[in-house]
């Protein structure tokens, strides 16, 4: 039996995903009819979806068993009123690996003082000796798949790592905190703060002036999570006073970051263009194919979104 699957994503994604996805499904014993413009919308069983594909009305796909997201973030999806089908977000092993590499690289960059070393090329001999990793406290906000993997990688380098999440978590080697009191403690330890929270009404501008004031003076903020987690005005003020010594930001409330935004010119801000990690077709198709197989076998789908929580 052939399973009708709608691919509701960009033309570029179609080029990158179509053949690998069909092959991944075939490897799992599922034959799919992958379509971009189905003749019979009601017959579609699964919708592979990203918001940049332009589709916003899920009403015609009344027979769909699930919508399978291509993106890790779902804040642009969960609010669509016609999306009543089960929604699975993308938890991609390749995306996780890429995020671990980016986060670890920038944590080490700030820990070792690499910026200062690289820019000091004026012939002045100025040795810089950072503390050992065991004496630099890292806090990771968000302990989902990405946050947990990054926290464990940093712990493996001997950093003391505090993690914070909305609900209790237990990760070996990580001091896992939760709740309001736990957040205050996590921030107070954050010599380097890594933000990997989902964007929800509860996390929008979570890193505001009071939160930044709780951090150790001279701390570093690294944000590869979601731009609106940070109150930009409060962060700029904290940078200007020295409360925060540097911010490395990969995501922003408006993307691309407007040329007139003060982050571009601020000497203590590093801007990267949303490159911390990306969903990679070669690994993402296995996640989508497995969920289609599960749906056809009557098994629970992986990575379902809790609409009440927004992720």
Residues noted as catalytic? 226, 274
Of the candidates 100, 98, 80, 78, the one whose C-alpha atom is nearest the C-alpha of residue 88 is 78
Query: Strands, DSSP E only, in the chain?
Result: 2-8, 31-35, 46-49, 66-69, 87-88, 138-141, 161-165, 175-178, 192-195, 219-223, 244-249, 269-271
Alpha-carbon gap, residue 242 to 184, rounded angstroms = 20
Cα 6–chain centre separation = 25
Half-sphere exposure of 306 (CA within 13 A, CB side): 4
Alpha-carbon gap, residue 170 to 31, rounded angstroms = 39
Alpha-carbon gap, residue 300 to 216, rounded angstroms = 44
Alpha-carbon gap, residue 95 to 277, rounded angstroms = 6
- The residues, any chain, with a CB within 8 Å of residue 212's CB and separated by 6 or more, are 221, 234, 235, 238, 243, 244
184: helix, strand or coil = helix
Q: What are the φ/ψ torsions at residue 4 (nearest 5 degrees)?
A: -75, 125
Q: Cβ distance 74 to 91 under 8 Å?
A: no
β-strands 219-223, 87-88 pairing: unpaired
Alpha-carbon gap, residue 116 to 44, rounded angstroms = 56
Alpha-carbon gap, residue 88 to 303, rounded angstroms = 5
């Amino acid at each position: 039996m052939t399973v009708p699957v709608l691919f509701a994503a960009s033309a570029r994604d179609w080029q990158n995903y179509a053949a690998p996805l069909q092959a991944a499904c075939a490897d799992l014993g599922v034959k799919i009819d992958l379509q971009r413009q189905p003749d019979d919308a009601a017959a579609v069983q699964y919708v592979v979806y990203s918001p940049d594909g332009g589709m916003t009305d899920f009403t015609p796909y009344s027979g769909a068993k699930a919508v399978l997201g291509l993106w890790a973030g779902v804040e642009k999806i969960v609010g669509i009123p016609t999306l009543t089908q089960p929604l699975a977000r993308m938890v991609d092993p390749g995306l996780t690996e890429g995020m671990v590499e980016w986060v670890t690289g920038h944590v080490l960059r700030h820990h070792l003082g690499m910026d200062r070393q690289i820019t000091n090329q004026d012939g002045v001999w100025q040795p810089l000796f950072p503390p050992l990793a065991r004496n630099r406290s890292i806090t990771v906000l968000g302990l989902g798949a990405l946050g947990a993997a990054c926290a464990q990688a940093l712990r493996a380098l001997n950093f003391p790592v505090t993690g914070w999440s909305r609900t209790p978590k237990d990760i070996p080697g990580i001091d896992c905190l939760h709740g309001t009191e736990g957040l205050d403690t996590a921030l107070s330890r954050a010599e380097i703060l890594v933000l990997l929270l989902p964007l929800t009404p509860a996390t929008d501008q979570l890193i505001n002036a009071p939160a930044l004031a709780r951090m150790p003076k001279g701390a570093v903020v690294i944000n590869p999570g979601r731009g609106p987690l940070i109150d930009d005005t409060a962060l700029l003020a904290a940078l200007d006073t020295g409360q925060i010594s540097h911010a490395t930001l990969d995501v922003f409330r408006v993307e691309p970051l407007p040329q007139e935004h003060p982050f571009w010119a601020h000497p203590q801000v590093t801007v990267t263009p949303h490159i911390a990690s990306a969903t990679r077709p070669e690994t993402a198709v296995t996640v989508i194919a497995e969920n289609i197989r599960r749906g056809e076998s009557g098994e629970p789908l992986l990575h379902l979104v809790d609409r009440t929580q927004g992720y």
